[in-house]
Amino acid sequence: MTKRFAQIGLAALALAAAAAWADEATTIRAALARVLPEYKPTSVEPTPMKGLYQVEIGPQVMFVTGDGRYLIDGAVVDLKTREDITESARDSARLRAINEIGEDNMVIFDSPSPKHTITVFTDIDCGYCRKLHSQIHDYEDEGIRVRYLFYPRAGENSPSFDKAVSVWCSDDRQDALTRAKAGEPVPKKTCRNPVAKHMELGNLMGLRGTPAIVLDNGELVPGYVEPKRLAAMLNEVHAAN
């Protein structure tokens, strides 16, 4: 009987904790809605630190106290393990947000022997983006599968944005992108496209330039990285995990 009562007690405590968590999550959502009405949290989860919650808004991560009063936008470090839980959370949130875009809304260059998948925010008129794409077969040979998202830095209604739309609306997107990055003209076309959605995600991620490479663990690597070095980085990441 004692064991049974103990189990009932533990279940009651778990229910109470869940209720408290739900109440605090509601409080946090309401507080954020007042100060950041344009953003809707995609998740509110407890952290190992009592009274502190991890809040994700797409690829963005912040920490908020359970009473909804204090927001921490910076590193939270576990001094015992020396792990920056903020960076780990951001990597995971970034990857989830990218995957929600869906591969049907990306231009993908597959590898014959894929070991890794990277996602690259690209601008057709960016010099280093063109350099990266000129070596696309070298990345493929290294076992790197490349998924492209468009991030024309000049914004909407710019020539770069129009080129991205034209590439997307082409019959052969891979060929059109390769030609466009080689400086060849792409026949102007319009259709339903995800370019603005790609840009919105890039802005939420705080991109400052292109190319911006997201590794398959969600880590963001700004700028061009040559194929062999990138393969070594990816191998190192996977070995660590």
Catalytically active residues are: 123, 126, 129, 153
SS3 of residue 106 by DSSP: coil
The partner residues of 44 in beta bridges, in order of sequence, read 55
The two tokens of residue 233 are: 């980085």
Environment class of residue 1 by beta-carbon count within 10 Å: exposed (0-12), middle (13-18) or buried (19+)? exposed
Question: What is the arrangement of strands in the sheet containing 60-65, beginning at the earlier edge strand?
Answer: 43-46, 52-57, 60-65, 71-72
SS3 of residue 86 by DSSP: helix
The two tokens of residue 139 are: 């990345």
The answer to whether the Cα torsion of 22, 23, 26, 28 is positive or negative is negative
Host H or E run for residue 220: strand 220-222
Which segments of 10-151 are extended strands (E)? 43-46, 52-57, 60-65, 71-72, 77-78, 83-84, 107-109, 116-122, 144-150
Q: Buried b / exposed e across 161-172, counting CB within 10 Å, b at 16+?
A: bbbbbbbbbbee
Question: Phi-psi category of 85—alpha, beta or left, where left has phi over 0 and alpha has psi -120 to 50?
Answer: alpha
